[in-house]
């Protein structure tokens, strides 16, 4: 509307690169956005090469920031950008990058106690409801008990977005509802659960509901922090959403990079390599004439849920 298509496409891709890199470094390295932005600006001005990136890294201030070795930062960036859903979203300019950025931003803003900002960013994420239909109500319930400024920010942000969108395009609600059936006809990827026999679908759905209730109980009692609960809700959301796609699975970078932060040295390197390579191996095995196969929809959320279950089980073992 305001920019030539080629310039708008380049701007969206640049924003996508920043969002993926910033979220991955935030989850795996614990870097605040100001540090990430400073490093990326210096890196963009540096000459190509690892040494220049390291020098750009060294020029930033990392006082009080853990995990600030440049080699690990570069490994996290490469792994996140090579992750199959990341490549897909960047290449096809997918809208899923916006909710992904907003959910990552919400987690950071809550941790930094910018509650109203966190509420506004979560309201923005609701532009693609199938990516937040568990996360949004869960976070609002948590905030109502503990951080009501977040709820105020969410309602304010949502109201402003609704008002502005209706002012710019008054008929959008009716047109959106009218095109839902058309959307379902051309979207070939539905919920991963739809690939299961019907009795197993109900069993899996009930298990997901039970798991969500367990997360709510633990989080409200203070036995689990919100970020940990969201890590669980992301694969659950992608597994039981009535309509989803592999593009939405870029969300899995949040729990996967969070898990990478708990690993050290060789295990961490091996895990990051797996994040970058294994989804492409599955794509190659299931593709048909170079096109993505239907079986691509389920392994990543299932594997992420399995990783979280193993992490939970090992963390409960007595030392």
Q: At what angle do helices 148-168 and 135-146 cross, to 10 degrees?
A: 130
Q: How far apart are CA 78 and CA 317, in angstroms?
A: 33
Q: How far apart are CA 233 and CA 215, in angstroms?
A: 8
- Helix intervals (H) in 3-45: 5-29, 33-45
CA 231 and chain centroid, separation: 9
Interior/surface letters 103-112, b for 16+ CB within 10 angstroms, e for the rest: bbbbbbbbee
Distant-in-sequence, close-in-space partners of 102: CB < 8 Å, separation ≥ 6: 121, 122, 124, 125
Cβ–Cβ under 8 Å, residues 242 and 190: yes
The residue among 150, 159, 161 whose CA lies nearest residue 116 is: 150
Q: Kindly report the pTM of this predicted structure.
A: 0.87
What is the structure's pLDDT at 273?
A: 96
| Secondary structure letter of residue 129 according to DSSP | G
Query: What is the token pair recorded at 83?
Result: 């992750």
What is the structure's pLDDT at 265?
A: 81
- Report the SS3 class of residue 291: strand
What is the structure's pLDDT at 163?
A: 92
What is the structure's pLDDT at 237?
A: 92
Cβ–Cβ under 8 Å, residues 274 and 288: no
The residue among 51, 56, 59 whose CA lies nearest residue 40 is: 56
Cβ–Cβ under 8 Å, residues 183 and 128: no
- Report the SS3 class of residue 288: strand
Domain residues for the domain of 121 are 5-316
What is the structure's pLDDT at 65?
A: 44
What is the structure's pLDDT at 204?
A: 77
Distant-in-sequence, close-in-space partners of 238: CB < 8 Å, separation ≥ 6: 192, 244, 248, 249, 251, 252, 300, 301
Count of domains for the chain: 1
Q: How far apart are CA 15 and CA 20, in angstroms?
A: 9
Query: pLDDT tens digits, the chain, 319 residues: what are they?
Result: 566 767 777 788 888 998 998 899 888 877 666 666 666 666 666 555 555 555 555 555 444 444 456 677 888 999 999 999 999 999 988 999 999 999 999 999 998 899 999 999 999 999 899 899 999 999 999 999 889 999 999 999 999 999 998 998 888 888 877 777 676 666 655 677 777 777 777 787 788 788 888 888 888 888 889 999 999 999 999 988 877 889 999 999 999 999 998 888 889 999 999 999 999 999 999 998 888 888 888 899 999 999 999 998 887 665 4
């Amino acid at each position: 509307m305001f920019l030539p298509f080629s310039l708008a496409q380049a701007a969206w891709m640049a924003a996508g690169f920043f969002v993926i890199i910033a979220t991955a470094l935030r989850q795996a390295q614990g870097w605040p956005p100001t540090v990430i932005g400073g490093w990326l600006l210096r890196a963009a001005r540096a000459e190509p090469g690892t040494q220049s990136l390291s020098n750009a890294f060294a020029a930033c201030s990392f006082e009080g920031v853990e995990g600030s070795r440049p080699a690990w930062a570069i490994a996290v960036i490469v792994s996140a950008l090579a992750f199959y859903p990341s490549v897909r979203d960047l290449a096809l300019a997918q809208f899923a990058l916006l909710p992904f950025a907003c959910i990552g931003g919400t987690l950071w803003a809550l941790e930094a106690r910018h509650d109203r900002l966190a509420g506004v960013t979560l309201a923005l994420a609701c532009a693609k409801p199938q990516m937040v239909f568990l996360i949004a109500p869960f976070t609002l319930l948590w905030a109502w008990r503990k951080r009501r400024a977040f709820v105020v920010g969410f309602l304010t942000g949502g109201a402003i977005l609704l008002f502005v969108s209706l002012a710019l395009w008054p008929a959008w609600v009716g047109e959106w509802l009218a095109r839902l059936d058309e959307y379902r006809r051309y979207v070939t990827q539905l919920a991963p659960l739809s690939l299961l026999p019907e009795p197993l679908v109900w069993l899996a759905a009930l298990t997901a509901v039970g798991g969500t209730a367990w997360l709510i109980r633990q989080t409200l009692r203070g036995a689990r922090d919100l970020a940990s609960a969201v890590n669980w809700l992301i694969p659950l959301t992608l597994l039981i959403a009535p309509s989803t796609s592999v593009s939405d699975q870029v969300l899995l970078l949040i729990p996967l990079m969070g898990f990478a932060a708990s690993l050290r040295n060789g295990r961490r390197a091996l895990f990051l390599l797996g994040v970058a390579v294994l989804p492409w191996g599955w794509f190659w095995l299931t593709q048909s004439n170079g096109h993505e196969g239907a079986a691509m929809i389920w392994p990543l959320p299932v594997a992420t849920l399995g990783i979280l279950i193993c992490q939970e089980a090992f963390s409960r073992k007595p030392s």
